[in-house]
Amino acid sequence: MVIFQMPLKLERRETEKISLLRTIITFMVAILIAMAVASLLIVAIGINPVEAYITLFKGAFGSSYRRSEVLVRMTPLLFTGIGVAVAFRAGMFNMGGEGQFAMGTLACILVMLYVPAGVLVIPLALLAAFLGGGLYGAVPGFLKAKLGVSEAIVTIMMNFIATLLISRLLNGPLKDPNGYMPQTALTPPNAYLPIILENTRLHAGFILAILVAIIFYVIMFYTPFGYKIRAVGSNRNAARYGGYNVPRLMILAMIISGGLAGVAGAVEIGGLHHRLLEGVSANFGWDAIAVALIGKQNPLGIIVSSLLFAALKVGGNAMQSTRGVPYNLVEVLQGLVIMFALGSEFFTRYRVRYLSSSKGGTTKCTNI
């Protein structure tokens, strides 16, 4: 197509010619542009942006403890991001990560506090969390697959239901009888996830998250089940004509998506808090949507995008405490990174050519 009346032509690149190097370079340029735009806002409040960004980097990677905190923050983002990606791959827009995360924490804490499972308490709690989040995700999946109800609207509404349910339980039957805060009693020590780096909070949930990412990469791109999920997301009618049970695959995708969000909640309980308390989610369910999109719905790409988001969160806290940068401005930076990173997809998939006429009347194309 010709852009306006200018001699420019927009062409779609051949998919097989979109190199990994081009994608990485485009993504890095997008991040730099986002930082440059955010620096204008930082200057406007009288702070040196160079010093602010140095503080952000040191705050995220300046010591082994800070690096471990990035990985701690990355862990639930990785679980929830992969879960959202599975749903997206099936053509399901799951916006219920918050609610599914909450139901996973509820199922997990019930096992940890009331099931005398001994050494099996951690695997049982993780299984319960997967089932809790998965069943909560199955509801909008069923309504979408069978009745055509918008899964986006249903999952958003169910987020509020889960949050209010947890709040009611923490102010009622699950409240610690020896405390005043809306939280449960501490779980027994045998329910704690092992610390894998001494003198830090980095726990075994991080290793589990990386393993889950690798496993789901193989499942989604190298197994018949993953192919069926992607086929349903690409074209439901074609998948149906191909003999696939489309409603069942849609529901399964939402169960897996919600289950992984639930496991993220269990990891937060078992690895960090050791009790259920209000606000434990910290918006992991919402951030997971951006993490999945920036990671291009690929589990290996989501490892990178979740690391980026975690570094921005941890480094942003350092910017606020050390340089006085308002945390709202840090969130603006995160929003700019999301916007420019997603916008960079355009330049990855398309190229602009300049059309010039030669003396013989022929048209030459030059890449821009």
How high is the mean pLDDT of the chain? Answer: 86
Widest pairwise Cα distance in the chain: 90
User: 240 and 246 in contact (C-beta within 8 Å)?
Assistant: yes
Residues 287, 262 share a domain: yes
Whether 140 has a pLDDT exceeding 80, the answer reads: yes
pLDDT at position 244 is 92
Q: Is residue 57 assigned to a domain?
A: no
Mean of pLDDT values over 329-334: 83
Residues 167, 21 share a domain: no
* Percent above pLDDT 70 for the chain: 87
pLDDT at position 3 is 45
Residues 193, 131 share a domain: yes
pLDDT at position 129 is 96
Residues 332, 319 share a domain: no
Q: Is residue 302 assigned to a domain?
A: yes
DSSP classification of residue 258: H
Task: Tell me the C-alpha distance between 183 and 181, whole Å.
Answer: 6
Task: Tell me the C-alpha distance between 273 and 117, whole Å.
Answer: 20
Q: Is residue 82 assigned to a domain?
A: yes
Residues 349, 245 share a domain: no
* Percent above pLDDT 90 for the chain: 54
Domain that holds residue 292: 74-323
Which residues are within 8 A (CB) of 337 and not within 5 positions of it... i.e. 6 or more apart? 30, 31, 34, 308, 312
Whether 364 has a pLDDT exceeding 60, the answer reads: no
DSSP classification of residue 140: H
Residues 141, 13 share a domain: no
- The pLDDT confidence band at residue 194, using thresholds 50, 70 and 90, is very high
- The pLDDT confidence band at residue 350, using thresholds 50, 70 and 90, is low
User: 167 and 97 in contact (C-beta within 8 Å)?
Assistant: no
Q: Using CA atoms in the order 14, 20, 24, 29, what is the torsion angle rounded to 10 degrees? A: -30
pLDDT tens digits for range 214-273: 999 999 999 999 999 999 999 999 999 988 999 999 999 999 999 999 999 999 999 999
Residues 170, 212 share a domain: yes
Q: Is residue 54 assigned to a domain?
A: no
Closest CA relative to residue 286, chosen from 15, 131, 101? 101
Look up residue 264 and give its two tokens: 């993220």
pLDDT at position 109 is 95
Q: Is residue 121 assigned to a domain?
A: yes
User: 89 and 250 in contact (C-beta within 8 Å)?
Assistant: no
Closest CA relative to residue 253, chosen from 86, 84, 80? 86
Task: Tell me the C-alpha distance between 330 and 339, whole Å.
Answer: 14
Residues 133, 1 share a domain: no
Lowest mean pLDDT among 202-206, 218-222, 294-298: 294-298
Mean of pLDDT values over 339-362: 66
Using a CB cutoff of 8 Å and minimum separation of 24, what contacts does 219-222 make?
220/86, 220/89, 220/298, 220/299
pLDDT at position 208 is 96
CATH code for the domain in which residue 316 is found: 1.10.3470
Mean of pLDDT values over 343-354: 68
User: 72 and 202 in contact (C-beta within 8 Å)?
Assistant: yes
Residues 150, 290 share a domain: yes
pLDDT at position 4 is 47
Residue whose tokens read 């997301």: 233
Structural domain total, the chain: 2
pLDDT at position 322 is 82
Residues 144, 38 share a domain: no
Q: DSSP string spanning 343-354?
A: HHHHHHHEEEEE
Task: Tell me the C-alpha distance between 318 and 323, whole Å.
Answer: 8
Mean of pLDDT values over 288-294: 89
User: 286 and 38 in contact (C-beta within 8 Å)?
Assistant: no
206-to-54, 70, 74, 129, 192 alpha-carbon distances in Å: 26, 11, 8, 17, 14
Residue whose tokens read 């735009």: 37
Mean of pLDDT values over 51-67: 89
Q: Which of 106-120, 130-144, 293-307, 322-336 has maximum average pLDDT?
A: 130-144
pLDDT tens digits for range 21-39: 666 777 788 888 888 888 8
Q: Is residue 53 assigned to a domain?
A: no
The C-alpha R_g of the chain, in whole angstroms, comes to 23
Helix (H), strand (E) at residue 318: helix 299-318
Q: Is residue 65 assigned to a domain?
A: no
Whether 359 has a pLDDT exceeding 60, the answer reads: no
Lowest mean pLDDT among 65-79, 171-185, 285-299, 318-332: 318-332
Whether 366 has a pLDDT exceeding 70, the answer reads: no
245-to-87, 236, 256, 285 alpha-carbon distances in Å: 16, 10, 17, 28
Mean of pLDDT values over 54-74: 91
Look up residue 24 and give its two tokens: 């990485």
Residues 357, 217 share a domain: no
Give pTM, 2 decimals.
Answer: 0.87
335-to-90, 298, 348 alpha-carbon distances in Å: 26, 21, 20
Residues 127, 87 share a domain: yes
pLDDT tens digits for range 89-108: 999 999 999 999 999 999 99
Q: Is residue 138 assigned to a domain?
A: yes
